[in-house]
Amino acid sequence: MLQFRFAARSETGRVRTNNEDAGFAGPYLLCVADGVGGAEAGEVASATTAYVVSARALAHPGHEPARLLGAAAREAHAQLVAGIAADPRRTGMATTLTAVLTDGIHTALGHVGDSRAYLLRDRELSQLSHDQTLVQSMVDSGQLTPEQAAAAPYRNVVLQAVDGEHVPRPDLILLALRPGDRLLLCSDGVSDVLSAAALGRILGRGSPGLAVDRLVRDALDGGSRDNVTAIVADVVDAPAIAANGVVLGAAFDLTNVVDPAAVRPLRSA
């Protein structure tokens, strides 16, 4: 069965005073959520979303990954609606979501916003996710070149997020992973600073733990002004194991989660 052997790290960084990134990494689920900068209670949005996605994955092993990720994104939205109703100061809170889930046979990517997922295969790096940002839409339409987009002052304006206003429509993509692949999921605190070439070089050397440490260090040394979160995972073929994992960033503090008790079993994912 396909599984992930992973390392993960989330740092507040050298400029921000609190960590609005959240995430989860386990043998079957990798997840990064980045509270949208400038919005209220970004840490609540990201922690709640990461919590809902990881709780769903742990509670429903074997469910079709793409359907489960779609259902979890919608449930996270419902939790944010409830969180704003309970505390109007949270109005406007929002987060990205990038998650890779496998049932051991099938694997899916769920993506909202501009956190990223990359694949390193045979020493070649490819980006699995597609940024849901204003700048990327302008690149797609030919209004900007990728070089112009990288320097655009509004490059982090997202067109979609998990929030309390709109039901999210995540990109749900089936992935044909195979043993020997290496995955990177990261917040834009990494991808805004490190080029694809730099990411490929770092991912191509050493263990997941060494790669994560180098990614975080190089992003911070490169001038990242944001929170920095990275998950590196090797895809392996191994006997099934009990699902567990590590919680990252704002999700480590359950007081950031709107209502942990509200996550109940789904009748159908």
The answer to whether residue 75 is domain-embedded is yes
153/149 Cα distance (integer angstroms): 9
The answer to whether residue 103 is domain-embedded is yes
What pTM was estimated for this model as a whole? 0.95
Q: Which residues span the domain enclosing 114?
A: 2-123+161-258
The answer to whether residue 138 is domain-embedded is no
166/214 Cα distance (integer angstroms): 37
CB 70 within 8 A of CB 112: no
268/192 Cα distance (integer angstroms): 38
Please give the single-letter amino acid code of residue 211.
A
Handedness of CA 163, 118, 4, 248 (dihedral sign): negative
pLDDT at 259: 92
Residue spans of the chain under pLDDT 50? 266-269
The answer to whether residue 226 is domain-embedded is yes
CB 98 within 8 A of CB 113: yes
Which residues are registered as beta bridge partners of 171?
A: 111
Q: Is residue 236 helix, strand or coil?
A: strand
pLDDT at 266: 47
Q: Report the CATH number that the domain containing residue 246 is assigned in CATH.
A: 3.60.40.10
The answer to whether residue 265 is domain-embedded is no
The answer to whether residue 155 is domain-embedded is no
The answer to whether residue 128 is domain-embedded is no
Q: Is residue 25 helix, strand or coil?
A: strand
* Sheet containing strand 116-121, strands side by side: 2-11, 228-237, 182-186, 116-121, 124-127
Give CA separation, 75 vs 49, 55, 168, 255, 264, in Å. Answer: 8, 11, 10, 18, 10
Q: Look at the chain and report how many structural domains it folds into.
A: 1
The answer to whether residue 248 is domain-embedded is yes
pLDDT at 235: 98
Other C-beta atoms within 10 Å of 137: how many?
15
